[in-house]
Structure 1
Amino acid sequence: MESLEPPLHTGSSVVSVQELVKETLEAVPERYVRHDQEPQILSDNRSTETPIVPIIDLGKLSSDQTLGNQELQKLHGACKDLGIIQLVNHGIGPSLLEDLRHEIEEFFKLALSEKEKFGRRLGEFEGYGSVPLSEVKLDWGDRFLMTVNPIAKRNPRLFPELPLSLRNTLDSYIKEMQKLAMQLLCLISKCLEIEMNEMKELFEDGFQILRMTYYPPCPQPELVVGLTPHSDSCGITILHQINNVDGFQIKKDGIWTPVHILPDAFVVNVGDTMEILTNGLYNSIEHRATVNSIKERISIAMFFNPKLDSEIGPIQSLMTKESPALFRRIKMEKYVNDYSSHKLDGKSYLEKLKLRTEKAVAFEVE
């Protein structure tokens, strides 16, 4: 989800970095220069023996009890520690992923006049374009963000108006992601040893957002940020790196660390909502996107939230006298609206929902 600030105008109804780089750029325009950000780490972890982000095999989770339990504990540990995994053997066919790559690449190749039809409008967080973070500063990327579930909440000028082949492919992908997300949420319920229905009732047919992002090459990548550091507001995010170009980074032990994403693996990360539901047991990971000087990077992410009419707060069974509620309860719709109007800034929004220690009320055992 994005800020509700209106887009900047430069003779066009949409600000597009993709259009900007079609010009011969020797230096990055000032409105993209981000001296406020920590420097990029240009090395990667491809050669390290142990991957920074744990790799979880979904097939093992459904295999024999011993192997499945080991993988389940690995998942639980990853959600507590980093709040992020790479998911392999996830069951999504390579032909669908290839169709998805082709269709999204073709969308971003459309003339700006065609993409402007989906441009982000004043007062809306959905639509296509580059998103300003203040009156002057922008990320180095173009994104197309839209609500995809509940279907009744879809903006009639966005998803329904996409080119037919892209719409059909996205529809197939969304359905697969919905099934995968519910499977993961059920596994998380097992990890937490809570009633399966607690997660299911919250998230089934919940509020879901899709974001496609195009990060063009940049002549001075060290000066810009593809996506400002933040934690996601949702329960879980499933990210697919469409064209296998790295640029995803996580904040680990206070240091920005590049993540090499395995081909066709999904990155699944814990969001703020899951940190709230687990009363801080699971960690929503702060992350950002960086860019390079040679190749564009394309990604698609789906954000899975509880139903808008639900209320979120720490799950009752995860609170004890020793571990009272760390977060206040809030209606999901208000939570979404507040986050949408909040400037991306690390985990600052989650901090606002924390109860002060002296005000935390101990869990009362009946």
Structure 2
Amino acid sequence: MKMIAAVMYEQGLPMPFAQSNPFLIEEVELEGPGEGEVLVEIRGAGLCHSDLSVLEGHRKRPLPVVGGHEGAGIVRELGRGVTGLTPGDHVAIAAVAGCGKCRLCLNGRPGICQVVSGARNEGMLATGHRRLRKLDGSRLNHYSGVSVYAQYAVVTPQALVKIDDSVPMDVAALFGCAIVTGAGAVFNSARVAPGESVAVLGLGGVGLTSVMAAREASAATIIGIDVLPGKFDLAKACGATHCFDARDPELVEKIKELTNGGVDHAFEVSGNLVAVDTAQKITVRGGQVVGVGVGKTTAMFNVNHLSWVSEERVLRGSFMGGGIPQRDIPRYVDLFLKDRLPVDKLLSEQLRFDQINEGFDKLAAGSVIRQVLLPHGNA
């Protein structure tokens, strides 16, 4: 079928993106689903900082590629052998789906499945196929195995999680990345316990979801940290008990005084190396730093070896929430419907295709939390 999609041909173009146009809006061809694949009509696709880092060239992708990894839609067609889904189902799209067979998947860690990640890194679906191409027949790559900046996508069923039809599609789009990542870091990776103290460094969509999840986990002290104080009112509405400017030269001392020596869990969500260092400094002895944000592929950070060992500090990575999307997303949707995880607060605006590059300018400037592309013009 022919459809409209946002195609990237070059990474690292200069800002403003509204002028350099890293995404070109084009008509492309999408083949129908093959064996073990599903056709989804995309009804919402989020603009994420991970996508921004790809635009900026910090993480390389095979080009040209149809962008987008955070989305939701409606199942339209099933390939041979697909079970558990029906045309008409509303689904969140989770880009971290695993193969379901390797030892990592069998141990409940599909997000770091080596089999699927290899195919995704080469611009293919988990099945090893490409279903996208330009009108002249030349190849287009899939982004993170999903490519949701398009009117339709062919994906594997492992990437789809059926959700309640009552969830608006612009909200549903967030569950595939921002929500599963931010909430999962708290519930799965850190396992925050009632009464503990938490700091979240970086108050974007993922960070604010971590704040909400920490409140749901009954953390006693929830500290939001960002370079943009304009985000603090929203952070407090999401559950933060205190907020601090990341540029405050007395930040570390203030947090240690507030928390009697440091927080139990520091979630570094921005992917900024200065914030990684701060997260280590504000964590109490025996506490843990949870790395959630991703930076440049070449980025390295330092750890004081003596304090790491003698103070029993934990450094933990949490990729896309460190859990199982098919288990976790329905739980998070249920919390949303009960107003215990009010993730609709993250929505800043809805976008048309012709606004996508400008949307990334706004994301880079920090003037928005989550924008959602509506490939068909309405949610």
Normalization by structure 1: what TM-score? 0.25
Normalization by structure 2: what TM-score? 0.24
More strand by share: 2
